[in-house]
Amino acid sequence: MTMENLDGLRRIAQDSVGRYWVSTVWVGATFETRVFGVGGSWSGFAQGYGSLREAQEGHMELVARMRETEYPGSAEKHRTRL
């Protein structure tokens, strides 16, 4: 797995879910997932993780929950870009 340099941060994963963008990065002391978007219940959500594995799993779990919230009962499948 490679991490992409992003202005001093290292991006672990990113996804789009409806009107939201989900990004998980290494911020130097911890890993952090943030949800960006205008309005809505997920906008501004943030979660920290202590390890790369936790960050990857947490990102995928969050994206799955968001997809279920945004598209209830949908069989829509997307691939998380790690």
| pLDDT tens string 18-50 | 999 999 999 989 999 999 998 889 999 999 999
Q: What's the predicted TM-score (pTM) here? A: 0.78
Q: Per mean pLDDT, which range of 5-9, 41-45, 54-58, 63-67 is the poorest?
A: 5-9
Is 50 exceeded by the pLDDT of residue 2?
Answer: no
Q: Which residue has the tokens 């979660």?
A: 47
What confidence score (pLDDT) does residue 42 get?
94
Tell me the C-alpha distance between 10 and 24, whole Å.
9
Between strands 31-36 and 9-17, the pairing is unpaired
Task: Break the chain into its structural domains and give their ranges.
Answer: 1-27
Is 60 exceeded by the pLDDT of residue 7?
Answer: no
